[in-house]
Structure 1
Amino acid sequence: MNYHLCKDVMCNDARRKAFNELAVKTFQLSFENWYQAGYWEETNMPYTLFDNEKAVANVSANRMELIWRGKRRRYIQLGTVMTDGAYRNQGLSRFLMDEIMKDWENQCDSIFLFANKTVLDFYPKFGFKREKQYQYSTRVNKALGLRRKMDMSCLQDREMLKKYYTKSNPFSSLQVVNNYSLLMFYCSSFMKDCLYYIPQYDAVVIAEQKGSMLHCFDIFCDDGKNLNDIICSATPEGTKEVVLGFTPKNGLNYEVKPVDDSDNALFVLKSKENIFEGQKLIFPEMFHT
């Protein structure tokens, strides 16, 4: 193989530019604004193959700290898997997967990823098992809409989000902590119009309205509060249903359905722990890579 493997692409201007060019070509997505805003951290580790100065393939390993049943777990989530069309069918993704496994398989509690429908047969070759996820939803009896929309162009609101994220989500049975970097990948771009402050309960809610349904991705506040009270306050008039992007600790009065994962399937490395097996969990949606 006559390619050069780079594991510190984000710290080099020319290599980062080439990496972003491949990402735009593959996903119509650039990481440059996120990087320039200071949100990138070393927990995000692209493994990038170069043909001279051109980035031709990548798999990123993202170190994550999770809390599950009161214990902190060290996980690796793989993402940003891409290969330039002219370089496919050469085993480049396989090479990168092998490199990541050599570096991290014995350094973490688990490795997982989300795969689209075009590569569902690829990851089992590396010992990954497909797992079902489950989503929780509830009918809304009282929509109050007592919320203030946060402005991510405002430094004060960005600082508020950062402060409240450190409180974590006390209602979620599976929490991603100490990952403000990834949170801001979404909240500084795709989800910047989906953040709300609920003064009555001193909580920050990330939610998106879709017709008569509110998709509540995450909630950050102090412990000891009531999830349904916060949801009612975050829900505008006319909303009939709330769907959660996390697994509630108390699932009573929630309808539970398997997630349609035909284009976003969860795979977990079989040789490591698997908290998803038989637990009816959903990985927090704000922290997919």
Structure 2
Amino acid sequence: NTFLLLSIMFSIAFLLQVPIKNFGNKNVIAWGFAFYVAVLGKLPVGFFAPKYQEKVPKNYPFNPYTRDVVVTSVAMTCRGEFSFIIAAFGLGEGLLDSELYSAIIFGVLLSSITSPILLTLILRYYNHLASKYLEQDQLDKSNAGGKAPLYVNIQIRSAVVRGMQGSIKRCVNSLGLFVIDQRSWHPRGLDVVVATELYAVDSKTMVDIVMALRKLENHNIPSASPGGEELGHANNSLNNKSSIIPEDEQAPSIDDYVAERCEEIRQALLHCPDLVDANVKVLQWVPL
């Protein structure tokens, strides 16, 4: 695998530039932590995360915009190979002495190690909260034998267009859907197909939760929690513009009004201006 070999060679080349022997110097450590603290200046960037007009379900455990701000802020604190390049250039041109160079590299390494770990923990935390809410909400409704909002799984394949994910989110919100989880993936390249999957709750449609659970057992309605396993990986098969699930696989037998609502959502997405050559499927989803 050429990409893997290049990645290994690239990593080794920069690791050889890490002045480990200077990391015992107190001045290097002190300035390294100072540079690390300076990285926190990137945190306010999270407030530029888009804020969508969406109706959050009652008793939902967190504000989606707050989550987006926190995730974006932490993601922006990562420092990687480009910082190594600048520092190495400064050292080679005599702009930095050995001690200052070592301090910069120390701070970059701290950020490169801690930020991804912190970001992973934050994402797991919010996914756990969402999963627990969905499970408890379904159990409460089923025990009471009452109605519950319709949950849907939306699967989209389309050509790559700048800003398409935000456009999809706005279109879905305008339909009265609250997006619980949205993710996308695609193979490397320019002319590729982007696969997008959303899990959402519909505030406009109510269903009998007991009946939905029975259909889950009888018809294999999608039930995977968005906070669980990864939904998929980018590979060359995504360039096939068929739907995410086989075309000959029919949606489970569900009530007519649910089927009509799913079709209404599908048609609205097909008319989304930033979806080009789109293939859309909308299925009922039971979050258990």
TM-score (norm 1): 0.26
Which has a greater percent of helix? 2
TM-score (norm 2): 0.26
* Higher radius of gyration, 1 or 2: 2
